[in-house]
Amino acid sequence: GENVEQHPSTLSVQEGDSAVIKCTYSDSASNYFPWYKQELGKGPQLIIDIRSNVGEKKDQRIAVTLNKTAKHFSLHITETQPEDSAVYFCAASMMGQAGTALIFGKGTTLSVSS
Amino acid sequence: ETGVTQTPRHLVMGMTNKKSLKCEQHLGHNAMYWYKQSAKKPLELMFVYNFKEQTENNSVPSRFSPECPNSSHLFLHLHTLQPEDSALYLCASSLSTRTENSPLHFGNGTRLTVT
């Protein structure tokens, strides 16, 4: 089955710096890779996703890159702000019994200090 | 404002109690999910329902019993739980079970503590 590894587990940056979170996956059939942000006391929220036919996707200060050959994908946050502080999860799709299931990484706690 | 509402937000129960978690989605989705979130672990998929029918049970112990009376409501009935079942239980919904075409929307979870 699919296995998703996420690094680092914690990341501390100064406001204005960039932050990069990396994930690797094992199932070459995976074709969808979302990123979720979870703030304290809330459920995860989708912030950006990428499909296997695309190498990079950008949305304002966040971007995701995908290297299918190496089976890894990364989240890039530029010009970080204190409100970016949260836990970030990557995920990869896996075909299940009746649809596609998402396999999640263990999460990265990002702290942005001002 | 989340379109997926979970109640209660917090629950403390003894190992011999019976309780239920409730989830309601206002997004017109057809698929609903239960996930378990424990510290330092990935989100674990427990159950999947599609058009009220259970399509996936991820080897979850029988002390967890899901119920989906319609596409908008999902319950998780709990009985004779163990302390290691303490976790955040997240409900999610999506338009279909093809999550690459219909992203998951999560509720804010129920923080469960088993004493």
Per-residue pLDDT, B34: 96
Q: Phi/psi zone of residue A91: left (φ > 0), alpha (ψ -120 to 50 degrees), beta?
A: beta
Residues of chain B contacting A51 with CB distance shorter than 8 Å: 100
pLDDT, position A1: 74
Mean pLDDT value of segment A98-109: 88
Check whether A96 has a pLDDT greater than 80.
no
Q: Can you give the pLDDT at residue B93?
A: 96
Q: How many CB atoms lie within 10 A of CB B64?
A: 19
Contact criterion met (CB < 8 Å) for A4 and B42: yes
- Report the pLDDT value the prediction gives residue A98, as an integer from 0 to 100: 63
What's the CA gap between B101 and B87, in Å, rounded? Answer: 29
Tell me the pLDDT tens digit for each residue of A30-75.
Answer: 999 999 999 999 999 999 999 988 899 999 999 999 999 999 999 9
CA distance B80 to chain A (A): 26
Tell me the average pLDDT of chain B: 93
Query: Could you tell me which chain A residue has the CA closest to the CA of B105?
Result: A45
pLDDT at A94: 84
Beta-carbon contacts of B63 under 8 Å, excluding residues fewer than 6 positions away, are B78, B79, B80, B81, B82, B85
Q: Find the closest chain A residue to B90 by CA distance.
A: A43
Q: Please give the residue that has the higher pLDDT: either A108 or A53.
A: A108
CB–CB contact B109 A43 (8 Å): yes
* Residue found under tokens 């075909």: A95
Q: What does the block give as tokens for A5?
A: 């590894």
Higher pLDDT residue, B76 or A101? B76
pLDDT tens digits, residue range B12-63?
999 989 999 999 999 999 999 999 999 888 899 999 999 888 888 888 999 9
**Are A2 and A105 within 8 A, CB to CB?**
no
Query: Is residue A75 within a helix (H) or strand (E), and if so which, with residue range?
Result: strand A72-77
Please count the residue pairs, one from chain A and one from chain B, whose beta carbons lie less than 8 angstroms apart. 73
Centroid of chain to Cα B67: 10
